[in-house]
């Protein structure tokens, strides 16, 4: 890796952008050279915390600065495509916050722009850099859980309401990226239902059911209208079960040696008796590092060494494809929408 820190420019310094700024500023492998935001209050905050960085309103100054090699985009999703394509056309590598885009057409435009520019395009699927999610992936790959029957993902809280996207596009990218990373496969069909209670036309509660090959079903429940903050994923297998609780202060992964066993053969209903297994409960040790810090370091390394990011543009496109299909299902009152397993596109 080059000993010269990677010059980084950040566009958008709101809630999440400020966290990205903190991490790229702290990394020895990168140097935060510029922060752009349209709001004066955010610019003042950035100037106070990062006095060595240029704090500006016009993002084009970042694109024109030859010292800036990489652009980080943390702006509203509808702006991702335009800003990313401008950055790529200027020869910059790009890390864009989730979701990659708000349509498949925009996602494809961004992928094509990255290919033309021969630059890295990475999407901020932060949970793929979470040690607990990596442990989930390891458990699934090992076969320890056996055949997975179903997965339940819950991501609910009171707020934060978004004015331009619904709760699926806001929160579900987290769980969709987790599912695709852990399972290593795309769903083959989905159904989505939701309700818009607070803002007309913008669903604030949604349920997304995903059908995967081999009979596996996953349900993702998202809400901005819940009294409790919950960030939990449960995987139920025929051998063992596991719960990932992102809000748990210590034991984020809990493995349950529990299940139901059927007799191999019975002649009558009276002989059919299920047995329940209540085995040990175990929480594996995790070497914890802040996931966003790992994501930022991963981006720098991929740029410097020419590596393919874990959550590259294609990974971001897959999530967008699922969300686009979910939007069609939502508009059709929960109608089933089939997907091509590899790309997420509707089958021809």
Instruction: Per residue of the chain (348 residues), give pLDDT as tens.
Output: 557 999 999 999 999 999 999 999 999 999 999 999 999 999 999 999 999 999 999 999 999 999 999 999 999 999 999 999 999 999 999 999 999 999 999 999 999 999 999 999 999 999 999 999 999 999 999 999 999 999 999 999 999 999 999 999 999 999 999 999 999 999 999 999 999 999 999 999 999 999 999 999 999 999 999 999 999 999 999 999 999 999 999 999 999 999 888 777 666 555 567 888 888 999 999 999 999 999 999 999 999 999 999 999 999 999 999 999 999 999 999 999 999 765 555 443
CA distances from 284 to 40, 50, 143, 192, 237 (A): 46, 38, 16, 34, 18
Q: Detail the DSSP E strand segments found in the chain.
A: 6-11, 30-36, 54-56, 70-73, 93-97, 121-124, 148-158, 189-195, 205-211, 217-223, 225-237, 241-245, 253-261, 275-282, 337-338
Contacts of 195 (CB under 8 A, 6+ apart): 203, 204, 205, 206
Ordered structural domains, the chain, with CATH:
6-125 (3.40.50.720), 128-290+321-338 (3.30.360.10)
User: How far is the C-alpha of 72 from the C-alpha of 62, rounded, in Å?
Assistant: 10
Q: What pTM was computed for the model?
A: 0.93
């Amino acid at each position: 890796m080059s000993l010269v820190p990677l010059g980084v420019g950040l566009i958008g310094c709101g809630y999440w952008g400020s966290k990205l700024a903190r991490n790229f500023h702290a990394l020895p492998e990168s140097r935060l050279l510029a922060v752009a935001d349209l709001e004066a209050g955010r610019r003042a905050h950035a100037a106070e915390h990062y006095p060595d960085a240029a704090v500006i309103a016009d993002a084009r100054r970042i694109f024109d600065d030859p010292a800036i090699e990489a652009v980080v985009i943390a702006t509203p999703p509808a702006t991702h495509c335009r800003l990313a394509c401008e950055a790529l056309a200027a020869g910059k590598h790009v890390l864009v916050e989730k979701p990659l885009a708000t349509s498949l057409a925009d996602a494809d435009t961004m992928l094509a722009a990255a290919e033309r520019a021969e630059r890295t395009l990475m999407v901020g699927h932060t949970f793929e850099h979470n040690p607990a999610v990596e442990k989930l992936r390891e458990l699934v790959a090992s076969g320890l859980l056996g055949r997975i029957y179903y997965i339940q993902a819950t991501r609910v809280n009171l707020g934060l309401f978004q004015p331009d996207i619904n709760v699926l596009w806001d929160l579900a990218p987290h769980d969709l990226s987790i599912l695709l990373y852990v399972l290593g496969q795309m769903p083959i069909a989905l159904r989505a239902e939701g309700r818009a209670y607070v803002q007309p036309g913008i669903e604030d509660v949604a349920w997304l059911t995903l059908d995967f090959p081999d009979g596996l079903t996953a349900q993702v429940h998202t809400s901005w209208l819940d009294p409790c903050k919950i960030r939990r994923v449960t995987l139920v297998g025929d051998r063992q079960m596991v719960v990932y609780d992102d809000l748990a202060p210590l034991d984020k992964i809990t493995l349950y040696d529990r299940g139901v066993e059927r007799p191999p053969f019975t002649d009558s209903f009276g002989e059919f008796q299920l047995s329940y297994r209540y085995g040990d409960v175990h929480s594996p040790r995790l070497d914890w590092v802040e996931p966003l810090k790992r994501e930022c370091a991963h981006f720098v390394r991929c740029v410097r060494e020419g590596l393919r990011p874990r959550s590259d543009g294609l990974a971001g496109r897959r999530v967008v494809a699922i969300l686009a299909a979910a939007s069609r299902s939502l508009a059709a009152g929960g109608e089933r929408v089939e997907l091509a397993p590899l790309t997420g596109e509707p089958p021809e």
